[in-house]
Amino acid sequence: MLSATHRPADEVLPPINTIAMSGNTVTLNCSSRDDNVLRWDFYAPGKKRPDSIYDGVDFNGKLWHSIDLSSCRLRSCHLTISPLRISDAGFYVCYTSSSSRRKAAALIVLGWLNVTVIINGLLLSYGIMCLFSLCRDWISAILPVI
C-alpha cells in the first residue's frame, strides 16, 4: 500500500525555471500550503546578497519598474514582469516568514542585439542572440578589436 508523503504545513510550492525572450511577459507563480504571506527576493547573476522585491507588506517599486504583484494574497503571490529586459535575468526566491527553506527559480532572458560599426568607411552590421549580460560582455570584447 502506498502512503502519502508527509509535507510540512509551511511548505512553499516554488516557481519554475523559465526561459523567455526580452520584451515578452513572464509570470512566476508561488504558493504556500499555509496561511502565511509570501515574499520575493531577487539574486542577480554573480551577486551574493538579494534585492528585496516584496517583503509581504511593501513592494520595492523603485528597483522594480516592470514588476506587477497585484495578485499577492495569503497562500499565493504571482510576480509578473513586463516588458522583460535582459537585466531581469537571475534567481527569483519565494518564501514565507516561517519557511525553513527558500525556493528559487532561474529566469533566463534571451535577447537580440544588433551592432553597427563603421570601419574604413564600410558599414558593418552584426546580430547576435544574447543571454544574461553576455550582450554587454560581447560588445566590450569586440569593440576594442575593431
**Domain locations along the chain:** 12-110, 111-142
Of the pLDDT bands very low, low, confident and very high (cuts 50, 70, 90), residue 2 is very low
Give mean pLDDT, residues 130-136: 53
More confident residue, 85 or 10: 85
Question: Mean pLDDT, the chain, as a whole number?
Answer: 75
What's the grid cell of residue 114?
544588433
Give strand ranges (E) for the chain: 12-13, 18-21, 26-28, 31-32, 38-43, 51-54, 67-68, 79-81, 90-96, 103-119, 122-131
pTM: 0.71
pLDDT, residue 87, reads 85
- pLDDT top residue among 122 and 85: 85
41-74 pLDDT tens trace: 999 888 889 999 988 778 876 666 788 876 777 7
- Asked whether residue 145 carries a pLDDT value surpassing 50, the answer given is no
Q: What is the CATH number of domain 12-110?
A: 2.60.40.10
Question: How would residue 33 be classed by pLDDT, with cut points 50, 70 and 90?
Answer: confident
What pLDDT, on a 0 to 100 scale, did the predictor assign at position 99?
72
